[in-house]
Amino acid sequence: MLDIEQKYGIIGKSDAVKEVLSSIEQVAGSDISILISGESGTGKELVAQAIHRLSTRKNRPYIVVNCGAIPSGTIESELFGHRKGSFTGAVEDRKGFFEAADQGTIFLDEIGELPPETQVKLLRVLESGDIIRVGESLPKKVNVRILAATNRDLKQSVMEGQFRKDLYYRLKTISIHVPALRDRREDIPMLAEYFMMEYADRNNLHYKPIAPASLKILENMNWQGNIRELKNFIQSVYVLENTHIIQPETLKEYMRKHSGYLEGIKYDTRFPVPMDRDVEKMERELVLRQLFLLRQDVDEIKNMLRANYRLLEKGQVSLSEIPDRLEKYEKTPVPSGEVFPAHDKTISDMEKELIEQTLEKYHGSKRKTARALKISERTLYRKLKEYDIQI
Ligand SMILES: Nc1ncnc2c1ncn2[C@@H]1O[C@H](COP(=O)(O)OP(=O)(O)OP(=O)(O)O)[C@@H](O)[C@H]1O
Ligand SMILES: [Mg+2]
């Protein structure tokens, strides 16, 4: 299990994550289709990748199809292929994603977005392994393992008549639910430290440890956009932080600037000691508070070691670099001034920035981002690829 965590980057120590990891382990070896559910940004795509890479199909194609990003008019031909002349623009015979994934795995992301006509055809593939290219009448056999994901409540979609009941029951036989981050808060410090380390490393910057009080704040936030939001948040506060350690004030400053965050905090983490108690009680409370802070420090050190260990496992740092890295966190002050050099921006830079900011605003939701920018989801996908924007 530890192995899956390290190889596929699914980080977390909560029972919920352990359960997801053990389900991955259990189902990976079979050819059964699997439905992965969970809110946006919880890690469904990571789960799908891990299943494929742990399966016997790992050296065969792994095709990801985002059902929400393909216009309903062309989705059938994209999935199943078409015959030359079957519609305007079909200038030659074309294979669809299913044929491209033959012997491998297809990951149908946002399956809840499939139009009803295509849902019927997918059900046929699930039941018989047959596909029919648009414009042809004879079925073709494909050997494809189907993984599907949804951030919608498919049961609700069935009740609303948007998703076929038979397909829903066929898909949900084996399902893996990835819980929301706010339902597994114990994973937050570990993930935050990991993203911090990854970001510093990727950009060749000094690692900035997260102060215990800051970790406490992070733990109590709502994280509507789940892990994706946490990852983006960490990167943003890194840039905002002027000292060598991520201070709670910096988090609060960031939250003030970005609406919607402050109401996410459940309680104040400054622990005021009430003054109306007797002296003995107050002293006890102060000692407890010190113990609590000490434990936070120990946790921070543990997380730092763990994150380094992970980078080591992934081969991103060598063993001999570790002592130096650990020492560096303690001693090296972050150079003052700007983290990134100033430069003249091009229109493309600005467009990229705008897309990134809008994605951040909508916690990584591509649908909402496209709508806000008044472009189609398809165009958004093209631009994400063009600017190499990772979300
Ligand atoms: N347990 C985890 N450990 C480390 N990183 C994670 C974990 N879960 C998710 N991530 C990271 O968070 C981001 C979002 O994850 P992912 O794309 O898998 O979410 P998703 O559930 O597919 O979201 P959506 O429904 O919006 O497509 C990715 O950058 C991913 O690498
Ligand atoms: Mg996804």
CATH number for the domain that contains residue 44: 3.40.50.300
Residues 154 and 11 in one domain: yes
- 94 alpha carbon – ligand 1 mean position (Å): 32
Give the separation between CA 206 and CA 196, rounded to whole angstroms: 10
Strand 34-37 to strand 145-150: parallel, antiparallel, or no bridges (unpaired)?
A: parallel
- Six-digit token string for 20: 């997801």
Residues 16 and 141 in one domain: yes
Strands (E), 167-233: 175-177
- Six-digit token string for 127: 């039941």
Where among 331, 362, 378 does a domain terminate? 331
Residues 211 and 107 in one domain: no
Give the separation between CA 43 and CA 220, rounded to whole angstroms: 20
Q: Closest by alpha carbon to 235, among 221, 226, 246?
A: 246
Residue 117 is assigned to a structural domain of this protein: yes
Residues 152 and 277 in one domain: no
The number of the ligand nearest the C-alpha atom of 65 reads: 2
Phi-psi region of 202 (alpha: psi -120 to 50; beta: other; left: phi over 0): alpha
Band of pLDDT at residue 39, cut at 50, 70 and 90: very high
Give the separation between CA 246 and CA 65, rounded to whole angstroms: 38
Residue 249 is assigned to a structural domain of this protein: yes
Q: Closest by alpha carbon to 204, among 91, 335, 355?
A: 335
Q: How far apart are the first and last CA of the chain?
A: 26
The number of the ligand nearest the C-alpha atom of 108 reads: 2
DSSP reduced 3-state for 376: coil
- Does the structure show a pLDDT above 70 at 26? yes
- Does the structure show a pLDDT above 50 at 267? no
- Does the structure show a pLDDT above 90 at 54? yes
Mean pLDDT over 56-77 rounds to: 93
Least confident of 13-27, 229-243, 308-322, 328-342: 328-342
Q: What is the pLDDT of residue 351?
A: 82
Residues 167 and 204 in one domain: no
Give the separation between CA 33 and CA 36, rounded to whole angstroms: 10
Mean pLDDT over 81-108 rounds to: 90
Best residue among 2, 13, 42 to mutate for probing ligand 1's pocket (most ligand atoms within 8 Å of CB) is 42
Residues 174 and 306 in one domain: no
For ligand 1, atom 13: residue with the closest CA: 228
Residue 352: domain span: 347-386
Q: For residues 298 and 199, which has the higher predicted lDDT (pLDDT)? A: 199
Band of pLDDT at residue 296, cut at 50, 70 and 90: low
CATH number for the domain that contains residue 316: 1.10.8.60
DSSP reduced 3-state for 120: helix
Highest mean pLDDT among 218-222, 302-306, 318-322, 378-382: 218-222
Degrees, nearest 5: CA angle 354-238-6: 100
Least confident of 203-207, 216-220, 279-283, 377-381: 279-283
- Six-digit token string for 10: 């699914």
- Does the structure show a pLDDT above 90 at 89? no
Q: What percent of the chain has pLDDT over 90?
A: 54
Q: For residues 293 and 168, which has the higher predicted lDDT (pLDDT)? A: 168
Residue 340 is assigned to a structural domain of this protein: no
The number of the ligand nearest the C-alpha atom of 4 reads: 1
Which residues are placed with Cβ below 5 angstroms of ligand 2, an ion? 45
Q: In what order do the strands lie in the sheet with 175-177?
A: 62-66, 105-109, 145-150, 34-37, 175-177
pTM of the entire structure?
Answer: 0.70
Whether the Cβ atoms of residue 226 and residue 181 lie closer than 8 Å to each other? yes
Which residue type sits at 197?
M
Residues 370 and 298 in one domain: no
Handedness of CA 3, 9, 11, 17 (dihedral sign): negative
Residue with token string 């956009």? 225
Strands (E), 38-132: 62-66, 105-109, 130-131
Give the separation between CA 262 and CA 239, rounded to whole angstroms: 20
Q: What is the pLDDT of residue 216?
A: 94
Mean pLDDT over 279-303 rounds to: 64
Best residue among 227, 367, 390 to mutate for probing ligand 1's pocket (most ligand atoms within 8 Å of CB) is 227
Q: What percent of the chain has pLDDT over 70?
A: 82
- Six-digit token string for 333: 């002050």
pLDDT one-digit tens code per residue, 137-179: 999 999 999 999 999 999 999 999 999 999 999 998 899 999 9
Whether the Cβ atoms of residue 372 and residue 333 lie closer than 8 Å to each other? no
Q: What is the pLDDT of residue 277?
A: 46
CA 103 to chain centre: 27
Where among 123, 158, 179 does a domain terminate? 179
Residue 289 is assigned to a structural domain of this protein: yes
Residue 336 is assigned to a structural domain of this protein: no
- Does the structure show a pLDDT above 60 at 114? yes
Q: What is the pLDDT of residue 273?
A: 40
Whether the Cβ atoms of residue 370 and residue 380 lie closer than 8 Å to each other? yes
CATH number for the domain that contains residue 378: 1.10.10
What average pLDDT does the chain have?
Answer: 84
Residues 193 and 298 in one domain: yes
Band of pLDDT at residue 345, cut at 50, 70 and 90: low
pLDDT one-digit tens code per residue, 193-244: 999 999 999 999 999 999 999 999 999 998 989 999 999 999 999 999 999 9
Residues 325 and 373 in one domain: no
Give the separation between CA 386 and CA 251, rounded to whole angstroms: 31
Q: How many domains does the chain have?
A: 3
- Does the structure show a pLDDT above 50 at 271? no
Residues 28 and 45 in one domain: yes
Band of pLDDT at residue 313, cut at 50, 70 and 90: confident
- 132 alpha carbon – ligand 1 mean position (Å): 33
- Could you tell me if the CB of 225 is within 6 A of ligand 1? no
Q: For residues 338 and 291, which has the higher predicted lDDT (pLDDT)? A: 291
Residue 337 is assigned to a structural domain of this protein: no
Q: What is the pLDDT of residue 95?
A: 92
Where among 161, 179, 197 does a domain terminate? 179
Q: What is the pLDDT of residue 314?
A: 81
Residues 28 and 127 in one domain: yes
For residue 28, what are the CA distances in angstroms to 17, 48, 76, 314?
16, 10, 28, 22
Residue 69 is assigned to a structural domain of this protein: yes
Element (H, E) at 35: strand 34-37
- Does the structure show a pLDDT above 90 at 371? no
Residues 248 and 381 in one domain: no
